Amino acid sequence: MSTAGFETLCLPADAALFARLARLLIDRHGDALADCDLLLPVMAHAPVLRGALLAEAGHALFMPRMLTPALLAARWQGDAPVDPHPRRLLHLVAQLRQQTWLGDVDPWSAAQELLELADALAALPAPPDENALQQGFERAHGLADSAALSLEARLVHAVWHSDCTGTPGHARAVTQALMRAAGAARRPLIHLSARVEPAPAWLELHAARVPVLNVLATRALTDTPVARVLHAAWPPVSPPVLTHAPSRDDALELAGRVRLVGAQSLEQEAQCAASCIAGWLSEGRRNIALVALDREAARRTRALLERRQVLLADETGWKLSTTRAAATVDALLQCFASDGYHRDLLDLLHSPHVAGSLDRDDHAQAIAAIDDWVVRRNHVDGLHALLTDAGREFAGCPAGRLIDALSRAFALMPTHNAPASFRVERLLAALDALGARAALAQDAAGAQVVNLLEQLRADSSGVALDLSFADWRKWLNSEFEQALFRDSAIDSPVVLTPLAATRLRRFDAVYVIGADSRHLAPVRLRGVLGHEGLRRELGLPDSQVAAGQLRDDLAGLIACSDQTVFSWQTQRNGEANLPGVDLQRLDLVLQRAGLPSAICSAPSLADPPPLPELVVSSAPVLDPARVPSRLTASGLADLMACPYRYYARHVLGLGAGDEVEDAMGKGSVGELVHRVLHDFHVAHPRLADAAPPALADALRAQIAAAFDGAIARNFQEHAWADRLHDRADAYIAWAVQRESDGWLFDSGEARRAHVLELPDGAALSLEGRIDRIDRNAEGDVALLDYKLRSAERVRKTLQADDVQLAFYTVLEGGAVSEAAYLALEEDVPVAFIQDDPPAAAQALLSLVSELFPALRNGASLPAHGDEAACLHCDMRGLCRKDWLA
């Protein structure tokens, strides 16, 4: 190969490919090989080829210069300007927004698609002109003479044309750099391709100056027992080969090297993959690939392997958007977008990158304090309320410093439409205000996130398109989705890699995870403009080509590896999940050759080790020192309903934590009603002084004020407010009648305590808060307890072992002559009066005086709630009543 010219040669793509290529090169070039350039599909092939050349030469050898097309292009890129993808996308969206014919089509998706199409066209030797494009569109759509299609064609052509004549995008810049390299070529070139495809224009241009050997590796030329079975299952498209039903011996050979494994769950699949890879390592295999078709299952497998001290070298990396660092940026934006919605706010605060100047302990303390504030204030959302109210309350505390940092950060975020670069600039400043940029820079993924933001700021500068916050976030998210994070510090015998990266590589063993019909399938190209037919018309690869490439990749993987395992989950979301179509075909071919199906089940998950014998008790006995010295009405009610529940709630202090309610629960409405009635009666101690309609209006005004904030947050709270408004007249009528019966409002929300001397010498403090206390002219006292319940439910409460009214009677002392519940969940309030309050109070005192000394004496607290008590009990899992019964 001494004179310029182009020669194509096909070699079988099997495990001996590099040995054959080495022999060919040494035969042709001998010592002059060092003067050649060798272009490989990926640099991972270089060490294999070097080894093969040394083995073939049998002595030390000056190696040819080995590169990939991408590396060669990078050398010739120089200072040539490139239009970065983020800027191209913004420019194109700005232009598409002026196109009315796009209708409801999302301009971001259309722009993305157009850019992909323009990038694909960049590799074509002679891209079509506008007319050819239009005819292509018309043929692809089966239409003729369509004005809309003509516009589409013009659009695609305009994007392609601006890519050609303006500053090129990355794909065209690579092609142009390769053309420049070809124009200056002085060394013979050997080009190895893993695909049988027409030579690119830059390679042919090389051939005008230097000898070019284009080596195409194709599985169609391999003729081994394994290859014959693979040809029968997946006939090669180019060049086509005649296939026959494989012999049983050929099928046996392949079946010994391939396993198809169905797992019942993600966990089972990951366990199977991790055990299989660990087994290969213990057998001494040192060149193993985990092909990640399903990233979720691969992620779990990686975690399981790391638990066994096996790290994976990740060749592809994970989407940057899936890292914790990117989640911090997203949490900041989400908190801003949702106006400080409490869950988003807490997500942001919990990020380790958002600690500002606080140390670890102060940060934890600040989070706990704000968390508590959010629940206490039932802060659903509202950044302004958070930043002002919480900022005031926490002034001088660690939480206050965190709130200050949030205030500064959110003040920087533009609230109006603004160019992307301005928004990124402000985002970076907001991260600085939170101390997050410096914290992010401390870890590899965080540093990459910061670099990406700085790059995006530079790439989008000068684009005048004003974006809303939502549009800008969409753009930013798509850039985070495209960026990859790779931890290149790990060197391991196990590589995590995509299927395409395994081309022409040899492995001791390969595990392909997620090989179901969804993941093991060619990419389907659907879109607004670049659909299948159009791609074919434009001479671009379509999904048929992609399907052929997928089969070539699978066949290459099996042919070049000693062992290959494919696994998938047989069930997904409760539906049957089949293996990839190509695997089904392979299994069918094996069965037609007389073998049983190659599909087997993954080993069942190991049973968890038996737990040590637990001492279970649902009737604890208290140490005398642990018997409580305080008692509330609800505590006593628990003790009466179920002693174990009393133990869990009031001795252990367990219970469901308070949560922020997006929509008000009945408990919160009840509290609000208590407050409204209390404030109303304090403001109107003598109802006779005003006319009932005026009183009802005043009550309605108080209801409206109390529900104001809740309605602003959630319009549905109107329903509660309206209900109470409607009942205001009836309540006033009842209250006026009560007053004319002689009972005057005296006080409300009254806290009381009564210390009881017990027979065993101990003291018990009874404590509580009485909703309302009325008095009459004789000095008698009446206690009222408001219940936001129906009359029927309140009646049942009184019939059961109720202790609440008696408890309040004890708290108030001897003058109580009336104690009643007032049912408010009715059109007209209904009072339920206890028969003899002093007698009930005396009975309660006797009961308590017996119970608490008994507890100190070793009486147990059994879980024996009845059906009604257990129905809504939050200790149900703890008491184990359902299991021990």
How far, in Å, CA of 828 to CA of 850, rounded?
41
Q: Give 303: exposed, middle or buried? Use CB within 10 Å, 0-12, 13-18, 19+.
A: exposed
Choice between 453 and 863, CB closer to ligand SF4 = 863
Q: Which of 111, 194, 370, 642 binds ligand SF4 (CB under 6 A)?
A: 642
Q: Give 545: exposed, middle or buried? Use CB within 10 Å, 0-12, 13-18, 19+.
A: middle
Strand duo 763-775 + 781-787: pairing:
antiparallel
Please report, as residue ranges, which positions from 819 to 878 form the binding site for ligand SF4 (by CB under 6 A): 863, 865, 869-870, 873, 875-876
How far, in Å, CA of 727 to CA of 822, rounded?
14
Q: Is 65 helix (H, G, I), strand (E, B) or coil?
A: strand
Closest contact distance (angstroms) between CB of 103 and ligand SF4 is 59
If one asks whether residue 644 binds ligand SF4 (CB under 6 A), the answer comes out as yes
Instruction: Record the tokens describing residue 852, joined without a space.
Output: 């608490």
Closest CA to 837 of 752, 780, 876: 780
If one asks whether residue 232 binds ligand SF4 (CB under 6 A), the answer comes out as no
Closest contact distance (angstroms) between CB of 871 and ligand SF4 is 8
Choice between 110 and 863, CB closer to ligand SF4 = 863
Choice between 541 and 862, CB closer to ligand SF4 = 862
Q: Which amino acid is at 862?
A: P
* Residue of minimal Cβ distance to ligand SF4: 865
Number of residues that bind ligand SF4 (CB under 6 A): 12
Choice between 212 and 863, CB closer to ligand SF4 = 863
Angle 233-237-239 from CA coordinates, rounded to 5°? 120
Q: Is 665 helix (H, G, I), strand (E, B) or coil?
A: coil
Closest contact distance (angstroms) between CB of 622 and ligand SF4 is 16
Closest contact distance (angstroms) between CB of 693 and ligand SF4 is 47
Question: Computed over its alpha carbons, how large is the radius of gyration of the chain?
Answer: 39
User: For residues 406 and 434, is the Cβ–Cβ distance under 8 A?
Assistant: yes
Q: Which amino acid is at 850?
A: E
Please report, as residue ranges, which positions from 163 to 222 form the binding site for ligand SF4 (by CB under 6 A): none
Closest contact distance (angstroms) between CB of 650 and ligand SF4 is 12
Closest contact distance (angstroms) between CB of 261 and ligand SF4 is 44
Closest contact distance (angstroms) between CB of 865 and ligand SF4 is 2
Choice between 839 and 884, CB closer to ligand SF4 = 884
Closest contact distance (angstroms) between CB of 806 and ligand SF4 is 21
Choice between 283 and 874, CB closer to ligand SF4 = 874
Closest contact distance (angstroms) between CB of 621 and ligand SF4 is 16
Choice between 296 and 882, CB closer to ligand SF4 = 882
Choice between 168 and 865, CB closer to ligand SF4 = 865
φ, ψ of residue 292 in degrees (nearest 5): -95, 90
Q: Which of 228, 645, 681, 789 binds ligand SF4 (CB under 6 A)?
A: 645
Closest contact distance (angstroms) between CB of 884 and ligand SF4 is 10
Choice between 75 and 626, CB closer to ligand SF4 = 626
Choice between 48 and 873, CB closer to ligand SF4 = 873
Choice between 126 and 614, CB closer to ligand SF4 = 614
Q: Which of 797, 881, 884, 885 binds ligand SF4 (CB under 6 A)?
A: 881
How far, in Å, CA of 151 to CA of 110, rounded?
14
Closest contact distance (angstroms) between CB of 688 and ligand SF4 is 47
Q: Which stretch binds ligand SF4 (CB under 6 A): 333-341, 440-448, 638-646, 687-695?
A: 638-646
Distances from the Cα of 228 to the Cα of 97, 487, 502, angstroms: 55, 40, 21
Distances from the Cα of 218 to the Cα of 54, 242, 507, 508, 764, angstroms: 24, 15, 18, 21, 90
How far, in Å, CA of 116 to CA of 748, rounded?
71
DSSP 449-508: HHHHHHHHHHHTTT---EE-HHHHHHHHHHHHHH-EE--TT---SEEEE-GGGGTT--EE
Q: Can you give the binding site for ligand SF4, defined by CB under 6 A? A: 642, 644-645, 863, 865, 869-870, 873, 875-876, 879, 881
